[in-house]
Structure 1
């Protein structure tokens, strides 16, 4: 799977070496050639090729969290004591927030 990106990096490296050693070439031009023709395209292709794997990991993590939540909800002690992570979080009650500050210009 990685043979094509490795080969492309090699070709871009050889292009940049040829530009650096040419009588009209510069080292800055060689570096720009390697970055613009080698690193950026290969990085983009590898990122796009890795998308299915990242999605698979996210789905597996979500399924694991859902299974843990269902196991916790099914236990008999789940309703007896509040969980510290959920009890300390704001607005987890599912109710609309109360209007604690009256609007400006209106008397309570």
Structure 2
């Protein structure tokens, strides 16, 4: 499972599919399913019938999950990078492979 490398709040770029090249922030991570939800990317449209809660009905747009292999971290210059783990001060931290900078906290 490679999804521990990408967590909620990370800035990522889409590597393949209809949204290729778009960037966004991870709003939800699903490590057991190896999927992530990225804000503003992979928008799914659902047609809904009118209900008591939503008397109007109509089109509902929401972000659908993407497989974690379709996204990569974004460096400061906007290019994708892989992530590796290193031990620093006795703690396991995520590090960008291209730049060597620490990711997150």
- Fold in common (TM above 0.5): no
Instruction: State TM-score, norm by structure 2.
Output: 0.24
Instruction: State TM-score, norm by structure 1.
Output: 0.24
Q: Which has the higher helix share?
A: 1
Asked which structure has the greater CA Rg, the reply is: 1
Higher relative contact order (CA closer than 8 Å, sequence separation 6+): 2
